[in-house]
Structure 1
Amino acid sequence: MASRVIAIGDVHGCSTALRSLINSIQPNRSDTIVTLGDYVNRGPDGRGVIEQLIALRDQCALIPLLGNHDQLLLRNQSSRTEIPGHPPIDPDNGLELFRDEHFSFLQTCELYFEIETHFFVHANYDHKKPLAQQDPYTLLWLSLDSKMPKRHFTRKTAIVGHTEQQDGDTLDRGYLKCIDTYCYGGGWLTAFDVHSGKQWQFDQNGVQRQAAT
């Protein structure tokens, strides 16, 4: 089987959707999966999401990117029941049970990843700067609604998350594709094969969107 490069959008604690997505993709050791960050908060099972990703490293080349919600959790390790700027975490939803291995995973996450034809960031980018020179705020926090970037000077296609597409459809500008499709809010968790264009989408209950191609 030919190797694939597959991006997965913002999971936000939707562990059932992620499990269904991975089962459908059936990754193998020749595949590279790039997860775009925001593994925790908002959805019911951020811990379960991270544990699935840790296990996924045994199946493929996993490139996990850091999201802004993940950054907040890392900044708040000493108080595991609350993320600054957000309501206290419900003690019944499992998010308060993060352990050292979960924080260690988040500490290994990258701010960006690139291949010959595409690059991957959580949120946004400055089209004039190399990825290694990007401001962390832009990469992690700046929404597309606040500033839609131009095509990057490298001419590579950008794959991003962070800016919720509440209609459940990916945003495609040609040079930029946003695959945060609002899973925790009633939309879908999206995976996208950047070379073939194949797309998978599952909701929080693990139901596949039949319109996905």
Structure 2
Amino acid sequence: MGRTLVFGDIHGGLKALKQVMQRAKVSAEDHLIFLGDYVDGWSESAGVIDYLITLSRKQRTTLIRGNHDDLVQQWLEGRALSPKWLQHGGQSTIDSYNAKSSKEIDKHIAFYKTFKDYYIDKENRMFCHAGFQNLNGPEHEWHSTAFYWDRTLWEMVCAMREDLDPEDLFYPKRLKLFTEIFIGHTPVTRINRTEPVNKANVWNLDTGAAFKGTLTVMDVDTKEFWQSDPVMQLYATESGRNEQSYK
């Protein structure tokens, strides 16, 4: 039996992804769950997608859709986008696709369309990029964009008292639906942390790879984790995303 490994936000850092795969000694028996935001940041966004396409053919992978993945898919499909996308890593993704043929781009579009909004495993653990809002569960969500844009789930658990009992009247109903929830989207470096952060039954795996942090992979059963070098060191001649304009 292999492990279930969950990966935080990659943001075009192919070097970091390859490095952390080696450090975690990923094998063909492992189930790999990626929490989204494969693109927008460092210079190898298209390369990350190529790598994941090849990887998904070799072993079991579950790929979750991130907000940046949705933005890039829209751009690849020719839909109009806000200029703000370019300010938040979009230009590096455009540059990474410049050498791609129309056939390769079509293959990537088809791959983006396979990404899941969320995944729930047999142990009732939920995996999504950002969160969900509906108190009755993700299957009742009105808009799928919540799964890759919402920040209220993370903000809620960060604001909760650590000693709040799950049986308390005011314990958030959303948290009671799952044994654990694994997310990315909001870098834990924003609260001056560099490792995966656990609040209530929520684990945040975004350790700031888009900026000055690392890429993290965690064994969901044991909570052992591995990290790349700070991604900015692996791309020393690049600036990555602008943390000052982070949203």
Q: Identical aligned pairs, as a percentage?
A: 25
**Mapped partners of 1:114, 1:158: distance in 2:** 9
Q: Rg bigger for which structure?
A: 2
Name the stretch that deviates more: 59-68 or 135-144: 135-144
In the TM superposition, residue 29 of structure 1 has moved relative to its aligned partner by 3.4
Identify the match of residue 131 of structure 2 among 124, 129, 132.
124
Question: Are 1:165 and 2:188 counterparts?
Answer: yes
Distance 2:147 2:3 in 1: 24
Measure, in 2, the Cα distance between the counterparts of 1:179 and 1:66.
15
Q: Which runs of 5+ in 1 are unaligned?
A: 207-213
Residue of structure 2 in register with 1:112 after alignment: 118
- In structure 2, relative to structure 1, the CA distance for the partners of 1:159 and 1:124 (3 Å cut) is same
Large movers: runs of 4+ above 4 Å? 90-93
1:140 maps to which residue?
A: 148
Q: Which has the higher helix share?
A: 2
Aligned to 2:58, the other structure's residue is in SS state coil
Q: Where in structure 2 are there 5+ consecutive unaligned residues? A: 158-171, 235-247
What per-residue deviation string (whole Å, max 9, x for no partner) do you get for residues 74-133 of structure 1?
Answer: 1222459x7753226158942444522222111100000111141100001236222222
Residues 1:132 and 1:29: Cα distance change in structure 2 (over 3 Å): farther
Where 1:104 maps in the other structure, the secondary structure is: helix
Q: For residues 127 and 138 of structure 1, do their structure 2 counterparts lie closer, same or farther at Cα, with a shift above 3 Å needed? A: same
Equivalent residue runs for 1:11-160 within 5 Å? 11-79=10-78, 84-87=83-86, 89-90=91-92, 93-97=95-99, 99-115=105-121, 116-126=123-133, 128-134=135-141, 135-144=143-152, 147-148=155-156, 150=172, 151-160=174-183
- Asked if structure 2 preserves the Cα contact closer than 8 Å seen for 1:89 and 1:95, the reply is no
Do the aligned partners of 2:125 and 2:180 also contact (CA within 8 Å) in 1?
yes
SS at match of 1:7: strand
- Pairs aligned (count): 206
Shift of 1:58: 3.4
TM-score (norm 1): 0.85
